[in-house]
A = this chain, B = another copy of it.
Amino acid sequence: MPKNRPDRVITDGPRPKHAQLSDVLADLAVHELGPDAAIPSERDLMTTYDVSRATVRKAIESLIADGLLHRIHGKGTFVATPRLESRLHLASFSQDMRRRGLTPSTRLLSVELDEPPADVAKALDLSADGTAWRVDRVRLADGEPIALENGWYPKRLLPGLDRHDLGGSLYELFADVYDLTIETAEQTLWGETADTTTAKRLDAPVHTPLLVFRRISYSAGRPLEYVVSRYRGDRSQLHMSLGRDDLGPSSTSEGKHP
């Protein structure tokens, strides 16, 4: 039986073999094979790339975790069909509103250098110089208050932030002025009711239901933003599609960002 010639060789080195194999397989799946096509069997891959089956399985598992492949016991491993909807978009408030045909605006409440609480400092990875910009804003859509934002931004990465116009999209400002693009974010949301201060700022009755988002945004792997946004729960909705990819007993997934 002829041994298949690998297009790339897996070598010892700083980069783990399973990661190298993942790259090879991802390329194979995307460019040479199509959706629903079977990739070579694990035992084939062992001999082709001269690695152990454990390594092959680890490589495949990371691609499964990424949604690129799926396995069927007894049949084989196949290229997953690409999802219909583009999964997620990381949109700023301004982008969000514009896409919905509403006019976004901003009421700037305050910008100042301050020492953030410990959890914020930790999330922002602040070192000795523990100061950061504190930016409080009310966001409006077509003139109506929608959300209250309390944000913290590292001073070191954003010198002179207070000298710029903070009445628009901060994300666009970061990109244009500081050449920092938000790439990923971790977001947590829960429910609250508006206290008197928040209610007043949102021009809403006390005890108005709120959707509270805490978002930590990253640029080049470094935290750039810690923001808590309180949206009027009666004026906003969050819509999401849930797929099936992580239903079963999840096995392996590598970290998304450091």
Contact = CB atoms under 8 A, between A and B. Distances in A.
A237 B249 contact: no
B207 A207 contact: yes
Contact of A250 (B62, B185, B249): B62
A248 to B, nearest CB: 5
A254 interface: yes
Given A88-B251, A243-B256, 15 more contacts: A62-B249, A65-B250, A65-B251, A65-B252, A66-B246, A66-B247, A86-B250, A88-B248, A191-B209, A191-B231, A193-B207, A209-B209, A209-B233, A238-B252, A238-B254
A12 interface: no
Nearest to A193: B209
Contacts of A96: 253
A243 B62 contact: no
A210 B184 CA distance: 28
Interface in A142-195: 182-193
A67 interface: yes
A252 B64 CA distance: 8
Contacts of A211: 189-191, 211
Interface in A206-247: 207-211, 231-247
A240 B89 CA distance: 10
A210 B256 CA distance: 14
A185 B243 CA distance: 6
B191 A210 contact: yes
Contact of A234 (B190, B249, B251): B190
B190 A237 contact: yes
A58 interface: yes
- Taken together, the copies of this chain in the complex come to 2
Interface residues of A, number: 63
- Nearest 6 pairs between A and B by C-beta? A191-B233, A191-B209, A90-B242, A65-B250, A185-B242, A184-B243
A207 B208 CA distance: 9
B236 A256 contact: yes
A57 B19 CA distance: 18
A91 interface: yes
A190 B210 CA distance: 8
16 contacts: A19-B249, A61-B252, A62-B250, A65-B251, A87-B247, A90-B244, A100-B255, A187-B251, A189-B239, A189-B240, A191-B209, A191-B210, A209-B209, A235-B256, A238-B251, A240-B251
A185 B253 CA distance: 16
